[in-house]
Amino acid sequence: MKTKKAVVLVSGGLDSATTLYYAKNKGLECFCLIFDYGQRHKKEIQKAIRIAKVASCSFKVVKIAFPWKGSALLDKTTRLPQGRPLKKIVKEIPSTYVPSRNIIFLSFAASYAEAIGAQEIFIGANSLDYSGYPDCRPEFFKSFQAVLKKGTKVGVQSQSIKVRTPLIQKTKVQIIRMGLKLEVPYQLTWSCYQGGKRPCGKCDSCLLRQKGFKQLGQKDPLL
């Protein structure tokens, strides 16, 4: 029986690495898609490539541009949010939101999937312990699934590509617990919005990551 193919969006972060290993564990042949979109640092791209290689998966780095900026992740003159209370992080849309990023990323992933005959797209989006991004919610992915059904060749032929979000309803501690069982190399991941030698420990992404490891009684291998 021919192995099914899947396109997996890999950012270098904890969630996307867990998603990749989850898809691999399902017996899928995974094709990693990594985006160089002008983010504040290249470290996460380097980490994503390393994770794909360690997972023995093929990968493509796609370079795109957001010349209009509109996000603290794209504009170094815009201050990154730091030290926000966790309750505020998950309720308010922060300056790190990149306009329509997941719509754009998933569109590339859909094109790639259709071209190589992949039947699934995996993305490590989460709607519980996340930074309040509107394009990380279940209703968004349900709507995008409808777009694929209506706007792709495979979709109109009743063979629509499925968008998989295995982490969507999980807390950070649940994600890390899953990843440890899957032997995800968390020491290779990078979640911090800064590109220093060590995580800053203050940005939203660092705080959410710290919360997960702390609740699980585990030490973050990056610290």
Tell me whether strands 58-63 and 120-122 are parallel, antiparallel or unpaired. unpaired
Total domain count, the chain = 1
DSSP H/E element including 36: strand 29-36
Q: Is residue 222, in this structure, part of any structural domain at all?
A: no
Q: Is residue 17, in this structure, part of any structural domain at all?
A: yes
The enclosing domain of 133 has a CATH number of: 3.40.50.620
Per-residue pLDDT in tens (0 to 9) along the chain, 223 residues: 789 999 999 999 999 999 999 999 999 999 999 999 999 999 999 999 999 999 999 999 999 999 999 999 999 999 998 888 877 776 788 899 999 999 999 999 999 999 999 999 999 999 887 677 899 999 999 999 999 999 999 999 988 899 999 999 999 999 999 999 999 999 999 999 998 899 999 999 999 999 999 999 999 999 9
Q: Is residue 23, in this structure, part of any structural domain at all?
A: yes
Q: Is residue 78, in this structure, part of any structural domain at all?
A: yes
Partners of residue 62 on adjacent β-strands: 35
Give the separation between CA 91 and CA 78, rounded to whole angstroms.
Answer: 21
Q: Is residue 223, in this structure, part of any structural domain at all?
A: no
Q: Is residue 53, in this structure, part of any structural domain at all?
A: yes
SS3 61: strand
Give the separation between CA 156 and CA 91, rounded to whole angstroms.
Answer: 37
Q: Is residue 221, in this structure, part of any structural domain at all?
A: no
Residue-range definition of the domain harbouring residue 20: 5-216
Q: Is residue 32, in this structure, part of any structural domain at all?
A: yes
Say what the pTM is. 0.95
